Amino acid sequence: MVGIDNLNDYYDTSLKQERLNMLQSYPSFAFRRANVEDQDTISQIFQSYMPSVVIHLAAQAGVRYSLKNPHAYIQSNIVGFLNIMEGCRQVQCEHLIYASSSSVYGANTAMPFSVRDNVDHPVSLYAATKKSNELMAHTYSHLYGLPTTGLRFFTVYGPWGRPDMALLTFTKAIVEGRPIQVYNEGKMKRDFTYIDDIVEAVVRLLPLKPAANPAWRKDRPDPGSSYAPYRVCNIGNNQPVDLLSFISILEEKLNRRAVKEFLPLQAGDVPETYAAVDELTELIHFSPATPIEVGISRFVDWYTEYYGVQYV
Ligand SMILES: NC(=O)c1ccc[n+]([C@@H]2O[C@H](COP(=O)([O-])OP(=O)(O)OC[C@H]3O[C@@H](n4cnc5c(N)ncnc54)[C@H](O)[C@@H]3O)[C@@H](O)[C@H]2O)c1
């Protein structure tokens, strides 16, 4: 098994390195430091390892960063994605699983978000790159019969999570006694999904490569499947949480009050996400269900130990 990452400095590289150290303790795991944008290197890695299944998670993530650094998204998420698909095509990989995002639902407000909904109205370039990945995947499923599964992750959180996401930034600010920035005056809801549930779902999906859907009709196209070996899945908790409730739970676990600075909705952001997971449950007989209190508690335990916080 080989893992690829360029360990870029979008956030603290020591956190990335420590995650990697854990993986490298498995003798069957090999690591190649490489940029998915580098066509020749990625092609060589595919030729060397001939993977039968590929899980592609590397991307320039974050909605807000995409407002200031749009080119990074096209390079990592579009050029990089093409290189991964080309590698899969060259080695006739049996299944490409890749990270899409709940952000593809963009301006949609019909809840819960379903893979059967039209997702043609993204509100950030990040979302547009993820939707583009789904379109690109469909062409390779159609042209080369490459089985592809796109996973629309809904606000993943937990230990070792990204430091640019709300849970980390809020926790750090609360611990340091600084104000937290609460967007859309707090009128936000997120379908927070615990990391272990995401991992469980991905592992169960690995052997389940998509087949053509014989019921799919060209005169009434269902966006969630295809006549080609292609699918997209929501992976969310199916239980949206108010941002203010989320903050209260965090305050309780940290045993500290947050100082809240209320701000308008940020450009590129959406006020609510909520995943319909019927198709996922039918497919893998599992759907994420970790209660937010449990997930935040595990996160706070990790944060406290990792950053050596002494505050309770
Ligand atoms: N975390 C979430 O809530 C969430 C929600 C929806 C979708 N996603 C998607 O899930 C995937 C994983 O996200 P994450 O939150 O775990 O982020 P992460 O930052 O922990 O993981 C992404 C990894 O990709 C690597 N990477 C970035 N660009 C690269 C490049 N050009 N070449 C090689 N490596 C590169 C980074 O160094 C990083 O280690 C991403 O595709 C992200 O867009 C995440």
Q: What is the pLDDT of residue 64?
A: 82
Quick check: 225 pLDDT over 70? Answer: yes
Q: Residue 188: inside a domain, yes or no?
A: no
The single residue of 65, 98, 105, 126 carrying the catalytic annotation is: 126
Q: From the CA of 16, give the closest atom in ligand 1.
A: 39
CA of 255 to the centre of ligand 1 (A): 31
| Structure tokens given for 180 | 């937290």
Q: Residue 20: inside a domain, yes or no?
A: yes
Q: Residue 185: inside a domain, yes or no?
A: no
Relative to beta strand 189-190, strand 193-194 is: unpaired
Q: Residue 163: inside a domain, yes or no?
A: no
Q: Give the integer Cα–Cα distance in Å for 238 and 150.
A: 18
Q: What is the pLDDT averaged over residues 246-255? A: 97
Q: From the CA of 34, give the closest atom in ligand 1.
A: 33
Round the average pLDDT of the chain to a whole number and report it: 97
Quick check: 310 pLDDT over 80? Answer: no
CA of 56 to the centre of ligand 1 (A): 9
Q: Residue 243: inside a domain, yes or no?
A: no
Residue nearest (by alpha carbon) to ligand 1 atom 1: 156
Quick check: 312 pLDDT over 70? Answer: no
Using 50, 70 and 90 to split pLDDT, how confident is the model at 311?
low
Q: Give the integer Cα–Cα distance in Å for 247 and 169.
A: 12
Q: Residue 126: inside a domain, yes or no?
A: yes
Q: Residue 268: inside a domain, yes or no?
A: no
How many domains does the structure of the chain reveal? 1
Say whether 126 is catalytic. Answer: yes
φ, ψ of residue 88 to 5 degrees: the values are: -60, -40
Residues with CB under 6 A from ligand 1: 4-8, 16, 35-37, 57-61, 76, 80, 99, 101, 153, 155-156, 162
- In this prediction the pTM is 0.97
Instruction: CATH number of the domain at 74, please.
Output: 3.40.50.720
* Amino acid occupying residue 44: Q
Pick the more confident residue, 184 or 312.
184
Domain that holds residue 62: 2-156+194-238+273-289
Q: What is the pLDDT of residue 309?
A: 86
Q: pLDDT digit string (tens) for 20-66?
A: 999 999 999 999 999 999 999 999 999 999 999 999 999 999 988 99
Of 37, 156, 169, 199, best ligand 1 pocket probe by most atoms within 8 Å of the beta carbon: 156
Q: Residue 71: inside a domain, yes or no?
A: yes
CA of 78 to the centre of ligand 1 (A): 13
